[in-house]
Each structure stands twice: as C-alpha cells, then as structure tokens.
Amino acid sequence: MKKSILWGTILISASSMAVAAPFLALGDGAELFLTGTAGVKFDDNILSSPGKISDTIFNLTPGLEVSAGKNAQIKTLLDYNEAITRYDKTTVLNTNLAHVSLNSNYSDNKSVVYVNASYNENNQNSPTLSGAGLLRTNVTDAGITGESEITQKTKLGLGFTYDKTHYVNNPAGTVDDKIYTVPIDVYYEYTPKVSLLAGLRYRDTKLQGLSGYKDYYYSVGARGDFTPLLSGEFGVGINERTSPTASNQSSFGLNSSLNYKYSQKTTFTVSLNDDTGASSNGQSQEILSFSAHADTIMNAVWKGFAGASYNNTKYKNVAPARTDNYYEGDIGVTYVYSLLLNVSATYSYRKNDSNAVGQSFNDNLVSITAVVRY
C-alpha cells in the first residue's frame, strides 16, 4: 500500500510541475526555474556486496535553479535540490539529502575565470569497502580557475580547488579527507585551432588521523580541434607522490578527454586517465580509468545513449597486495515529451573484480526517470 501511495505521489508531482509556468523573471537577465526528477529503480544488489540484497527504490528530487547574467560578461547559476529516496523493503536506508551548487564565469577578449562551489549530501556504495553498506558523506567543493593571454600566442592558466569529504559517523574505518589542488598550465598556439601545453599540478591530500600525501604531476600535451570531427584535450607525464610514512612513488600519468562527431546526430566521448588517489579508508591508490559514451538522436522525440567504463585500481603499501578491476556499462533511451519534460529508461551493469576477500560483486539496475525544468 505504501508503495502505491508513494508512486502515485511521484506521478502527481511530475504531472503538476509539467503544466506550471515555465519560469519567473527576477530582473534584468535573471530567471528562476523550477526543476525536478521523479523515478523508480530496481536494483538487485543495493549494497554492492557479494551477498545480494535486492529492492525497488523510488526517487523524487524537487529543486530550484536561478540563472543570472544572461547577456553579460559575468554569468551565474545557482542550483538547489532535495533528493528524497524511499526503499520498498529496506526502509532503514530511506534518506532526504540536500544538494546545492554555485557556478559562475567571467570572460572578455583576453581572459576567462570560472568560480564554483557545492555542497552535496550522499548515501552511496564504495568499491573500496564492498559489503560495508551505503556510506553517508557530506562533500564540500570550491574552486577558482582561469586563463589569461600573455602574448598573442601564449596563455597562462592558474587555479585552486578545495575538496572535503566527511563520512557521517565514520563507518567501517573510513577516513575524512581534505584535498587542495593547484594547477599551472602554459598554452602555446601551434595553429589557429590547436594549442600545445605544459603543466604542473600540485595536490595536497590531508587525511584525518593519518599522514596524507603530496602529489606532483608534470605533463605536456595539446588541446583544440585536431580535425573537423575530433576535438578535446590530452596530456601525458609523470606522477610523483610523497608521504612521511611511505616510500616515494613515481608513475606514468595521463589525462585525456576527446569528442568525436560521427555525424550530425551521433557523437562519441572518450576519456583515458592514469592518476594517484586515496581510498575511503585512506590507502594510497594508483588508478587507471577509461570511459566511452555515445549519444544519438534517432528522431524528433527519441534519443539513445550508451556508455562503458573501466577502472584498474592498485592499492599501494598494503599487504597482501590488492588490485581491483571495476567495470560499468549502461544503455538507454530518452523520450522528449516537450521542452519541459523528458523521460528516460536505462539498464546499468556494474562489477568489481578484486583479489581482496569479500570485495567482489556484481549489480544489475533498471530505472525509469522523468525530468522537468521550467
């Protein structure tokens, strides 16, 4: 009975939002939008553990979005939503979680500056601690990055980002972290459409109760429109990691994101990265990741999408040695009912193959989600 009432509430909320006014003008160049998602998902392994527990999950996420500076040099977007999640059987996992973000940018003929800040309450699985249950985290991010023209052919990019993850009640040996990152990049215009780059990224990872890590990534690469159909950015280099309690590590580094326009209706996005990291319990990691995504417009109202990703994670300075191979894939369709409303159906598969005892799992998910914005 409770499932029928909740599902009815979701449908009523989505339909009532779809017929509301499209937006509210707040002033010159500023607008208020009402946003929302409503969905149902069947998950046959809600805890991402070797022993599966299945459930049906209902989601309702009402929100507000304010945009400003529509025709100005400074543009700003403020977004807030409340994610309401209800489980059909495992009701102890029910949550109401807040998400807020602020994004702003400034641009003129010679410079561009991006400012961002966000706060997100999450309740999700961690492949590092499979079977530990859903981990409640509060994640705070903030940053400022920019580029400025030095000469007619060179640009300097600078930035600073701050990321903080707090594990609520610190379950299963998790460790809070704070990460400070400073990227410095120099770009040289090799052709009117392609720039060469050389960069240094410094990253300081502070772990609660542990020594933490300092990382230096030295890279060279390029960005721009490499062909009429291929664009993006890539860099290759060396990762150096130091820690007061472990030997220094040196490894190959890679960062890339490429977009290929196969046709007017179909595009592909591919990324390949090799970087260092820290697990949810503070262990040093080397992570090789690959992802590919495709989007296609089938006709005026139907769109299709598919994606796949792979992560190879090596845990450093632990005994016995641990390596995880994580795979994820999804395929789905979107029906565009109007400019205000679209509905998507998605199938997803996830698998973690680990040599650590009790850390392997697989998971199948089927979801239907309606999205409104007006």
Q: How far apart are CA 311 and CA 288, in angstroms?
A: 6
- Which of the four CATH numbers 3.30.300, 1.20.120, 1.10.3470, 2.40.160 does domain 2-373 have? 2.40.160
State the alpha helices, DSSP H only, in the chain: 2-18
Phi, psi (rounded to 5 degrees) for 228: -60, -20
Q: Coil, helix or strand for 173?
A: helix
Q: Is the pTM of the predicted complex or chain greater than 0.95?
A: no
The residue written with tokens 């990460």 in the block is 179
- Give the Cβ contact number of residue 238 at 10 Å: 12
Determine the Cα angle at 205 with ends 200 and 206, to 5°. Answer: 150
Q: What is the pLDDT of residue 358?
A: 86
Single-letter amino acid, residue 374 = Y
User: Is the Cα torsion angle 35, 40, 42, 47 positive or negative in sign?
Assistant: positive
CA-based nearest residue to 37, from 92, 78, 83: 83
pLDDT values of the chain reduced to their tens digit, one per residue, 374 residues: 344 333 343 333 333 333 334 468 777 778 999 999 999 999 999 999 888 999 999 999 999 999 998 888 999 999 999 999 999 999 999 999 999 999 999 999 899 999 999 999 999 887 777 666 789 999 999 999 999 999 999 999 999 999 999 999 877 789 999 999 999 999 999 999 999 999 999 999 999 989 999 999 999 999 999 999 999 999 999 999 999 988 899 999 999 999 999 999 999 999 999 999 999 889 999 999 999 999 999 999 999 999 999 999 999 888 889 999 999 999 999 999 998 999 999 999 999 999 998 889 999 999 999 999 98
Tell me the residue ranges of DSSP E strands in the chain.
24-27, 30-43, 55-68, 74-87, 95-107, 111-124, 135-149, 154-167, 177-189, 194-207, 213-225, 230-243, 246-261, 266-278, 284-297, 302-315, 322-336, 341-354, 361-373
Q: By the 8 A CB rule, do 273 and 251 touch? A: no
Question: Cα(169)–Cα(374) distance, rounded to whole angstroms?
Answer: 38
> How many CB atoms are located within 10 Å of the residue 329 CB?
15
At 239 the pLDDT is 97
